[in-house]
Structure 1
Amino acid sequence: MKLNYRKFGEGHPLIIAHGLYGSSDNWVSIAKELATNFEVFLIDQRNHGASPHTNSHTYQDLKEDLLEFMDDHHIEKATLLGHSMGGKTVMFFAAEYPERVSNLLVADIAPKNYSEISAGSSQNIDHKNIVSAMLNFKFDNFKSRTEIDQKLSEDIKSKRVRQFLLKNLKRDGEKKFSWKLNIETISKFLPQIMDGMNKNDFIHGKGISGFPVLFMRGANSNYITDDDHNLIRTIFPYAEITTIPKAGHWLHAEQPKLLVKTIEYFVLD
């Protein structure tokens, strides 16, 4: 699959994979900062942004899309940075193609299966609710983003989440609104998107090594908990784990300058 992308700067290749409901747009300001030291590629993953829509959305798909992208752009080795779903993409890629990775950076996601978390946890409930609200939204008669936001607020209480989702709005030639992302396929494959890596594949010294690995978690997020450290280090034995203060799950939006400094310090020093 030929992914849509943006490119900034020159230097060692750094590829950024966005999260669920996201796109390359979300990372432009970060990419411009990193472009001083890297050739930064922002990709739209399949069914998101301006990349093609398909009827499948698994991590097998996403990692093979990334491989094809690197091959098409003659990138032998790259620093990979992924947030949330994109973090899972780069983790699965690193497990399959470690020789193509120079550094692995994972933003606020663990390699676990999030659908197995207890019903009291926000992650699983939020995603099911968000996908359902987007899938069932009827755009007829809505003339502005404000009206759409007000209607969405009935199902999605968080203003920050709604603002993020509204970046996926587009208009056709008749000025009618629709979603840019392929919410139908995403809805069908949500269990696969929530899936994780199998810890048993990496025990008995089979963990992934050979390149530096950094997990960055938001201090106000519960996507990476202290209990996840064992799983992370089973799969990535030499992984470092750092916490970005005053940030939740969307740490690139909440602490962009600190995130850039953290990336540069880890990769360049």
Structure 2
Amino acid sequence: MSGDQVIDVSGVRLAYRVFGPPAARPVVLLHGGSADSSTWVDVAPALATDHRVYAVDLRGHGASERTDRYSFELLRDDVVGFLDALDLRDVTLIGHSMGGVAAYLTAYARPERVSGLVLEETPPPDPMGFTVPDHEIRRHIVSQLNAPDPAWWDAVDAVACPVLTMRGGPDSFLPQDRIAAMAVRFPHGRLVTIPVGHCVHRDAPDAFVDAVRAHLRHADRPTTSCP
């Protein structure tokens, strides 16, 4: 791993960690709502044996800048800006929970840069009914999960690159049947269950890496980029 780095994306400072050889195909890791890029340190080195891995602190998390506005659309724009600023192409986005929503919205917005998705325990764009916390950042994000933009389903239906949807089984607090229903709507989607709960990459890192590596072998084929 190289040292933590910082980049300015449309006036917002985003911190990120980098693993792996510079010339390898890029993978971008997007953490969940109560985490930061450090959540990936146990799996990123394994993924970086043959990929250039970027683990981003999303706005308001980790070492990235706190702002006065938070939404999934802003997270999407930050990720798009990050890909543009580093000129990353043929990217596989791997998102956990909140980061998964940002990942598929990014793939919809910039299909020419994204060649694959891994969505780990990602809430589908159905009203979730979560209790809204007092935490400044989480309040905005959870409120959107409770009342998602119906247009997010358009993204699910239109993202044409290979998508691996990963769910954590009965120990997860997310509705597993609704995750499965989302998975089958991706034109080139596949569903895998690793029954360890909501944080698969933390609680079953070896199984997580094996599933992601198999998906990367498929997503890295030149003909599978999003149109």
TM-score range, shorter chain: 0.7 to 0.9
Aligned to 1:72: 85
Q: CA deviation at 1:255?
A: 0.2
Is residue 14–residue 56 contact of structure 2 (8 Å, CA) maintained in 1?
Answer: yes
The whole-number CA distance in structure 2 between the counterparts of 1:213 and 1:30 is: 19
The whole-number CA distance in structure 2 between the counterparts of 1:200 and 1:93 is: 11
Give the residue type in structure 2 aligned to 1:102. Answer: S
**1:184 aligns with one of 132, 136, 144:** 136
Aligned to 2:206: 257
For the pair 1:225 / 2:225, whether they are aligned, the reply is no
Q: Which residues in structure 2 correspond to 1:1-269 (within 5 Å)?
A: 1-10=12-21, 11-115=24-128, 117=129, 124-125=130-131, 128=132, 131-132=133-134, 183-196=135-148, 198=150, 202=154, 207-219=157-169, 220-234=171-185, 236-245=186-195, 247-269=196-218
For residues 176-234 of structure 1, the C-alpha deviation after alignment (integer angstroms, 9 at most, x for no partner) is xxxxxxx424335530255545268639xx92243100100002214242244334433
Give the residue type in structure 2 aligned to 1:79. Answer: T
Distance 1:78 1:224, change over 3 A: farther
Aligned to 1:161: none
Secondary structure of the 2:67 match is coil
The size of the alignment, in residue pairs, is 204
The whole-number CA distance in structure 1 between the counterparts of 2:57 and 2:140 is: 19
Q: Relative to total residues, which structure has the larger helix share, 1 or 2?
A: 1
Bigger Rg, which one: 1
Distance 1:256 1:200, change over 3 A: closer
The whole-number CA distance in structure 1 between the counterparts of 2:161 and 2:84 is: 20
The whole-number CA distance in structure 2 between the counterparts of 1:25 and 1:212 is: 26
Is residue 31–residue 95 contact of structure 2 (8 Å, CA) maintained in 1?
Answer: yes
Secondary structure of the 1:240 match is strand
Distance 1:113 1:73, change over 3 A: same
Q: CA deviation at 1:37?
A: 1.5
TM-score of the pair, normalised by structure 1: 0.69
The whole-number CA distance in structure 2 between the counterparts of 1:5 and 1:266 is: 23
The whole-number CA distance in structure 2 between the counterparts of 1:201 and 1:9 is: 34
TM-score of the pair, normalised by structure 2: 0.81
Distance 1:260 1:228, change over 3 A: closer
Secondary structure of the 1:98 match is coil
The whole-number CA distance in structure 1 between the counterparts of 2:57 and 2:188 is: 29
For residues 99-118 of structure 1, the C-alpha deviation after alignment (integer angstroms, 9 at most, x for no partner) is 21111110011322343x4x
Which sections of structure 2, spanning at least 5 residues, go unmatched? 1-11, 219-227
Q: CA deviation at 1:15?
A: 0.1
Is residue 8–residue 35 contact of structure 1 (8 Å, CA) maintained in 2?
Answer: yes
Is residue 125–residue 153 contact of structure 2 (8 Å, CA) maintained in 1?
Answer: no
Q: CA deviation at 1:83?
A: 0.2
